[in-house]
Amino acid sequence: MGQSASSTTILSRRDTNHSHRSKIKSTSLSSPMHLDGTNNFQVILHGTSDFISDLPDECLACIFQSLSSVDRKSCSLVCRRWFKVEGQSRHRLSLKAEADLSSMIPSLFTRFDAVTKLALKCDRRSSSIGDDPLILISLRCRNLTRLKLRACRELTDVGMAAFAQNCKGLKKLSCGSCTFGAKGMNAILDHCSALEELSVKRLRGITDSTAEPIGPGVAGISLKTICLKDLYNAQCFGPLLIGARSLRTLKLFRCSGDWDALLSVISDRVTSLTEVHLERLQVSDVGLSAISNFMDLEILHLVKTPECTNLGIAALAERCKLLRKLHIDGWKANRIGDEGLVAVARNCSNLQELVLIGVNPTKVSLEILASNCRNLERLALCGSDTVGDSEISCIAAKCIALKKLCIKSCPVSDQGMEALAEGCPNLVKVKVKKCRGVTPEGADSLRSSRGSLAVNLDSGEPEIPDASASDGGIQDNVVDFHPIPSQVAPSMIASSSAGRSSSLKSRLGLLAGRGLVACTLRRWSGGNSSSRINN
């Protein structure tokens, strides 16, 4: 009898649960506008409630944070409560900044009222927003900390000045292909005392030598990173570069003018620089000598600066002994070679990453580098006429700490691969590209002898290396040195689906222990209220 009653009870529960799930599924597909007036996604059937409705808004927002942009938009349509929570918890927003966006601004920023990071991007063939929409946005987003402007050609100095007065907490500004000028830029620097990062690319309002000098303003105290790209008269930023006393990173890409004199003045006033990128600039050994005054320099990228020679590299290496990463694209000029690299090897024992493009090192410098730079983990040799099997054998025998090696367009053969099979005990990845002497059989032999070693062979026709194919400089010629799995920080994993899953679990665990978690969005993503919002 007891067994029969138990079976009856189980069957009854199964029927009830099946009916409950069916009704929940039917209800969850409804539009938020067709729900009852409680604005809650709550289903009460046979005394059983939907547990998601019991979650506090902060927990729900944390879950939304772990979703992709598409999934997040879909979730916002489930019910009114989810629609509201998704909007209020979104801190990053990317909008198509076309002229007709103006009419949508009030409704957009009523829903997304917690935005702190905003991107406004316009298509080149479309008319962009002007001053009035930007001013309206600044009035509704006074807590904005990051602003990215792309191709907003209708913005003027007037709009930027008003924005600066309303958003004084701005920490990062990135603008490209805009038409406002020096007055607008100075307004930002004069009012945004918390500004830490400034990136300017193709600012069309600054075109002649009579342009008003820029900076430093109140931002001179806080600025830590300045990046200038494709500017005709970038030297009008001279006062800013000289006055940014806390500057740590300076990046100059394809900016006209003679930079030797300005770099000399900067080095006399700024002592905190740790990272310098110079690409396609008119700079010589005089400029490198000035950079050598940055005693704490750790990262140097020198790309296609043909006036720089071994003398400048040697002078810099003698004083910048903390150098960890060195990228040189010699542009096949043969002005930087063994002499400069030997100076680096003898003075920069902390070197961990070395990238050489269009430079012709020989066994002489490579052997000293391997012997003195015992922490060298990443090495790339591209477009070199002198790097052959002998040089690779030297690397295999001497570079004990090497983990990643990239060889491109060099006269290396299968014999070099055989040397790698027996050396570099810590090697985890080898990339060989456009080296005609290396055959698939040679690569397979290397794989078979080193089971845990990742070998990537791409045999193609040799081509002239081009390190400036993109804004970042070295792209096509050098494998990106991503951290190996054991070195990847947890925050770097969050972009993958598996990472989102583990991130969600950890956050929910934190919720269980502490109650509520503040929501900080990690992707530039948009809402769903308008087609203006980008994914």
The reply to whether 433 falls in a domain is no
pTM for this prediction: 0.76
Based on the fold, state whether residues 74 and 101 are members of the same structural domain.
no
Q: Report the CATH number at residue 198.
A: 3.80.10.10
Q: Cα–Cα distance between 271 and 248 in angstroms, integer?
A: 9
H or E element: which one contains 347?
helix 338-347
User: Which range, of 67-71, 132-136, 146-150, 374-378, averages the lowest pLDDT?
Assistant: 67-71
Q: Which residues make beta-bridge pairs with 199?
A: 174, 227
Task: Based on the fold, state whether residues 122 and 233 are members of the same structural domain.
Answer: yes
On whether both 102 and 231 belong to a single domain, the answer is: yes
The pLDDT confidence band at residue 461, using thresholds 50, 70 and 90, is low
Which of these three, 245, 260, 285, is where a domain ends?
A: 245
Percent of the chain predicted with pLDDT > 70: 75
Instruction: Give a yes or no: residue 312 inside a domain.
Output: no
71/209 same-domain check: no
383 in any annotated domain: no
Q: Please tell me whether residues 85 and 104 are part of one structural domain.
A: no
| Mean pLDDT value of segment 508-524 | 35
Are 137 and 63 members of one domain? no
d(CA 119, CA 518): 23
- Co-location of 216 and 104 in the same domain: yes
| Mean pLDDT (whole number) for 307-330 | 97
143 within some domain: yes
135 by Cβ neighbours in 10 Å (0-12 / 13-18 / 19+) ranks as middle
Does 83 share its domain with 99? no
Weakest mean pLDDT among 61-65, 190-194, 333-337, 379-383: 61-65
Q: Tokens for 523?
A: 């992707």
- Tell me: the pLDDT tens digits for 157-187? 999 999 999 999 999 999 999 999 999 999 9
pLDDT for 217 beyond 50: yes
**Cα(421)–Cα(398) distance, rounded to whole angstroms?**
13
User: Which of 210, 245, 280 finishes a domain?
Assistant: 245
Q: Is residue 347 part of a domain?
A: no
- Is residue 378 one of the residues assigned to a domain? no
Q: Are residues 241 and 99 in the same domain?
A: yes
For residue 83, the model assigns a pLDDT of 78
Q: Which domain holds residue 86?
A: 54-90
Distance CA 264, CA 246 (A): 17
255-299 pLDDT, tens digit per residue, is 999 999 999 999 999 999 999 999 999 999 999 999 999 999 999
224 shares a domain with 104: yes
- Based on the domain organization, do 112 and 186 belong to the same domain? yes
Q: Is residue 496 part of a domain?
A: no
- Rounded to whole angstroms, the Cα distance separating 322 from 266 reads 20
Work out the average pLDDT over 510-522: 35
